[in-house]
Amino acid sequence: MHISIFGLGYVGAVTGACFAKDGHTVIGVDPDDRKLELIGSGKSPIVEEGLDELIAEGVSSGRLRVTKDYMAAVAESDISLICVGTPSNPNGSLKTDYVQKVSTEIGQAIKAKGTFHSVVVRSTVLPGTTESEVLPAIVKHVSRESFGISMNPEFLREGVSIYDYYNPPFTVIGTDSKEEFERVHSMYSAVSGEVIHCKLSTAEAIKYGCNIFHALKITFANEMGMLCKALGVDSREALDIICKDTKLNISSKYMKPGFAYGGSCLPKDMRAYTHKARELDIYLPMFEGSLASNRIQIERAAQRIMALGPKKVSMLGISFKEGTDDLRESPLVTLAEILIGKGYDLRIYDPNVEYAALYGSNKVFIDQELPHLKRILVSASEALEHAEIVVFGHDAAPYRELIGQVSENQRVFDLAKIGNPELFKGEYDGLYW
Ligand SMILES: NC(=O)c1ccc[n+]([C@@H]2O[C@H](COP(=O)([O-])OP(=O)(O)OC[C@H]3O[C@@H](n4cnc5c(N)ncnc54)[C@H](O)[C@@H]3O)[C@@H](O)[C@H]2O)c1
């Protein structure tokens, strides 16, 4: 395959050298004379193990060359990868000037070339950027049918990038075209791991999700370590053991966007840990931020329900999670409290919660927090009969069975991703989907 790479920084240089090794013909484009000189003479522009050798091999085999001439690079290739930098502006926003400029250049070059060309965004850009900035810049020069577009984020770690290139966690290709997916896929024939086809904006979001998750994991480990150290606990040992749990900890469990956490353990333990830290003059902003963020989830859900208009609401599910009657610190109880406080005419259905059967701290909690529960706890059919808005709080069989009974005049607000939105006859809105 003939590939042109725009931007010979870390990402462009490594990707280009690996493509050349794998038998592709690569033309690197960059305005930086020094980088062109170095790569052109078979040397790496960055310190990276194994890269000097790869570049030297690529240049001497004739499969890797560099130029400033972007028109020629597009004319002589089938596919162009945008690998230019996307640094921060002083206010923290993403600077996309280089991406826009290179998109314009590629658009002009495709026009001059006169035949179909594929464009791949490899720079890290915020969800929606390819659609709102790259596409229009190219479409200014050529018709939408003249080029294909996809987003293929980069997951290399500096220092071990060549190993990472051949052994990625996965290869993500975001595009709405099957042909573009196949074309981009074919560049990676020498690469192991799953190849995932998704939407453009999903690919853009995945890159941010991965990096933010890494940053959060480091912060999590450090905040754990701060209090552990103060309490005489070996945090390395504790964290190593925590990571051995691949069922609940290092797993997809709890990684589904949805409603707030609650119950008798998570909020209480988070409070106790952060309180102990404060007692010892240790501030754990991420852990404290979790409690604040959790509260925001509930308030946001209440605001979104209130924005729908109608005042007759039925909540399907009230316990802190499905399959239990535990109401303690259930975020759905807080949501119900907010709605009742705002004058909403609320009904609640939860097959696991029977008021007369509640006892102990569970009953004390609900009598304090939601004294109206007894009056507004109804059967499934009464809940559906009452509602102008149906709020799904849990995703479980007894609730899924009710989907077909929601009428076209009832609006659904789904906190649990109970099912495909198309299953509902009327208006549907999901929390984060
Ligand atoms: N460095 C990493 O570890 C890493 C990893 C994954 C993703 N990314 C992302 O990849 C992108 C590139 O990162 P980088 O570290 O390689 O950036 P970089 O700043 O090191 O390199 C960017 C290159 O683009 C060139 N350039 C600017 N305008 C150009 C134009 N019009 N035509 C051709 N080249 C042009 C620059 O001269 C420079 O050589 C960024 O969006 C970054 O966030 C970086």
Walk across the sheet containing 312-316 and list its strands. 345-349, 312-316, 389-392, 411-414, 428-430
Q: Tens digits of per-residue pLDDT, 156-179?
A: 999 999 999 999 999 999 999 999
What is the dihedral angle through the alpha carbons of 264, 270, 276, 279, rounded to the nearest 10 degrees?
-120
CA distance 362 to 328: 6
Give, as one character, the DSSP assignment of residue 131: I
CA distance 337 to 257: 23
Q: Residues of the chain whose pLDDT is less than 70?
A: none
Token readout for 158 is 């500096």
Q: Tens digits of per-residue pLDDT, 232-279?
A: 999 999 999 999 999 999 999 999 999 999 999 999 999 999 999 999
CA distance 15 to 141: 28
CA distance 42 to 123: 24
For residue 388, which of 300, 313, 332 has the smallest C-alpha distance? 313
Give yes or no for a contact between 36 and 66, defined as CB atoms under 8 angstroms apart.
yes
∠ Cα 287 290 295 (to 5°): 145
Residue 19 C-alpha to ligand 1 middle, in angstroms?
17
> To test ligand 1's pocket by mutation, which of 69, 84, 134, 154 has the most ligand atoms within 8 angstroms of CB?
84
Over the chain, what is the mean pLDDT? 96
Residue 6 C-alpha to ligand 1 middle, in angstroms?
9
* Pocket lining: 35 vs ligand 1, CB cutoff 6 Å: yes
CA distance 252 to 212: 16
CA distance 227 to 397: 42
DSSP string, 162-201: HHHHHS-SEEEEE-S-HHHHHHHHHHTTT--SEEEEE-HH
Q: Tens digits of per-residue pLDDT, 107-157?
A: 999 999 999 999 999 999 999 999 999 999 999 999 999 999 999 999 999
* Pocket lining: 7 vs ligand 1, CB cutoff 6 Å: yes
Give, as one character, the DSSP assignment of residue 259: S
* Pocket lining: 8 vs ligand 1, CB cutoff 6 Å: yes
In this prediction, residue 369 carries a pLDDT of 92
Residue nearest to atom 7 of ligand 1 (CA): 154
CA distance 122 to 18: 15
* Pocket lining: 156 vs ligand 1, CB cutoff 6 Å: yes
Give yes or no for a contact between 108 and 79, defined as CB atoms under 8 angstroms apart.
no
* Pocket lining: 204 vs ligand 1, CB cutoff 6 Å: no
Token readout for 148 is 């294909």
Residue 336 C-alpha to ligand 1 middle, in angstroms?
49
What is the number of the ligand 1 atom nearest to the C-alpha of 29? Answer: 33
> To test ligand 1's pocket by mutation, which of 14, 15, 26, 30 has the most ligand atoms within 8 angstroms of CB?
30
* Pocket lining: 6 vs ligand 1, CB cutoff 6 Å: yes
Question: Which secondary-structure segment (H or E) carries 28?
Answer: strand 25-29
* Pocket lining: 39 vs ligand 1, CB cutoff 6 Å: no
Domains along the chain? 2-199 (3.40.50.720), 294-430 (3.40.50.720)
Residue 102 C-alpha to ligand 1 middle, in angstroms?
11
CA distance 62 to 40: 10
Residue nearest to atom 11 of ligand 1 (CA): 123
- β-strand partners of 197: 173
Find the helix packing angle between 331-341 and 285-307, rounded to 10°. 50
0.95 cut: is pTM over it? Answer: no
CA distance 268 to 279: 16
DSSP string, 41-71: TT--SS--TTHHHHHHHHHHHTSEEEES-HH
Residue 96 C-alpha to ligand 1 middle, in angstroms?
11
Residue 161, SS3? helix
CA distance 131 to 222: 37
* Pocket lining: 101 vs ligand 1, CB cutoff 6 Å: yes
* Pocket lining: 276 vs ligand 1, CB cutoff 6 Å: no
In this prediction, residue 419 carries a pLDDT of 86
Token readout for 103 is 């998109």
Residues designated catalytic: 265
Residue 207 C-alpha to ligand 1 middle, in angstroms?
15
